[in-house]
Chain A
Amino acid sequence: MEGLVSCSALRLAPDHWRGWDIICSEGTGGSVLAGGRGRLWMDRVKDEVLVQRVASGDERAFSGLYDRYAGLVYGTGLRYLGDRGTAEELVQDVFTSVWKSAGGFDPARASFATWVYRITRNRATDLIRRRKARVRTVEGEPLFEPGETDPSGDLSRNFDVAAALSRLTPVHREVLVLAYFHGFSQREISDRTATPLGTVKSRTTAALRALRETMGFDEDRFSADE
């Protein structure tokens, strides 16, 4: 039994996979979605695969899902709950719930993005109720009230797009994240990634095309589920 390890990679020490960047492996910046860190080992691994691993106690898979959705959950908290402290509480509540409930997730009923969206919406509603105060967005718009769903569907759609983004190849995701989440111009992306400008432009086109195709697939499937 030489070399026996009694457990799988699920239980490697956390420091084993940290400190590097999901989007720009040459240190040119991190994913806004991920809060600056990432785990390339699970690139293109579907959310539904990761959540199954979370159900068996895999913290790496959990971190992978955190990378993909924490920025959106936090952004949702800021927008709908109004302050950073409560937004952080929302992130903690949502991801604690993901960890605890992963075993009950059924991919046949809904995508992970839809599932985490529902958790986010419900937890946000709970936080609003807990505070017993009418909360408005930073723009002064009224929030969805307790019991009211995301009326415009914007939030739900954002979760689906985040899921689609996570399924792109690293180079496609990189060019879109740098453009949309870091606000870099095509020229700046070219400089930062040491890629010819023409290639950046054609890659951006290909990445948007791939995203559209992935979104199209998801939208078809989700509507069929419903």
Chain B
Amino acid sequence: MSEHPDTRDLLGPYVMGTLEPYENREVEDHLQGCASCREEAQDLRLAHERLADLAYGTTAPPEDLEARVLAGIPRRRAGRRVPSWVAAVAAAFCVLAVITAFNLLEDQAAATLNPTGRAPDAGGEVSLRGTGENTELRLEAWGLPPCKSEQYYELWLVEGDERVSAGTFTVGESGRVDVTLNAPNFAASYPRVGVTAEYDKDPRASDAKMLSGELHDL
């Protein structure tokens, strides 16, 4: 972009009052003869005033306050620590129950996952079943490179620039995964799904796209 933007590009800093005096004169001269820029300046001034009001009414809270809030909220799925064998039996039962329940739920949408250059032999299927609180998403994938230490994969619901994580998983030497995830009840509204390889603690989707596909209604 140019180091010397045209007058219209200066309207934002103009309404904020942050232009150099010579730029200010230039803009004012221009506005006298340009009705559309005058109208735009009026619009921008409204946004400026609203934002200035918001800034005035906003103060950064103490850094530890969020941790205190989180510590005080009741967890929706809190539970007592139980013996490991009980947990193992319960987990197996839950997996069975999830599989059974999943098979009873009605299909909503599905996607065939296509590989990228990072894993040309990979593929997969995503299916979305159920409604409301019982919406579930099943991912079956194969041909994925086994996860190295600290690496994992993440499944995303995608629309334009928006990425909403639908869950994470790892794969072993087989390169296969078959996983059922709780899905938000609006998951079917996303047009695409994708899988990325993640290596760090950054919660954004990485650039390492492994699989992607279009979600279509059934």
Contact = CB atoms under 8 A, between A and B. Distances in A.
Contact of A70 (B66, B174, B178, B205): B66
Nearest to A58: B184
A196 B3 CA distance: 6
Interface in B1-58: 1-5, 8-13, 15-16, 18, 40, 43-44, 46-48, 50-55, 57-58
Interface in A188-202: 196-199, 201-202
Contact of A72 (B57, B169, B181): B57
A3 B169 contact: yes
B51 to A, nearest CB: 5
Interface residues of B, number: 79
A36 interface: yes
Nearest to B59: A75
B54 A161 contact: yes
A201 B61 contact: no
Contacts of B43: 209, 212
Interface string A90-106: 01100110011000000
Given A43-B161, A202-B5, A209-B43, A57 B76 contact: yes
B80 interface: no
A197 B44 contact: no
**By DSSP majority rule, is chain B's interface helix, strand, loop, or mixed?**
mixed
Contacts of A28: none
A9 B10 contact: no
A196 B1 contact: yes
A87 B170 CA distance: 43
B70 interface: yes
Contacts of A56: 76, 133, 182, 184
Given A49-B186, A72-B58, A91-B65, A96 B12 contact: no
A52 B63 CA distance: 26
The size bracket of the interface on A is 35 or more
A4 interface: yes
A205 B186 contact: no
B208 interface: no
A92 B72 contact: yes
Contacts of B185: 52
Contact of B205 (A41, A88, A157): A41
Nearest to B136: A8
Given A49-B164, A79-B57, A211-B47, A179 B16 contact: yes
Nearest to A7: B182
A208 interface: yes
Contact of A19 (B48, B65, B201): B201
A205 B178 contact: no
A79 B203 CA distance: 34
Interface string B91-124: 1001100100000000000000000000000000
Given A3-B170, A8-B183, A92 B68 contact: yes
B167 A2 contact: no
Contacts of B60: 32-36, 71, 74
A185 B51 contact: no
B81 interface: no
Interface in A1-21: 1-12, 14-20
A211 B77 CA distance: 38
B3 A198 contact: yes
Contact of B70 (A59, A71, A73, A205): A59
A214 to B, nearest CB: 9
B102 to A, nearest CB: 13
Given A3-B172, A4-B169, A201-B12, A88 B183 contact: no
Contacts of B48: 208
A4 B179 contact: yes
Contacts of B54: 72, 158, 161-162, 165, 180
A155 interface: yes
B12 A198 contact: no
> Closest 5 A-B residue pairs measured CB to CB?
A205-B12, A202-B9, A17-B203, A57-B76, A3-B177
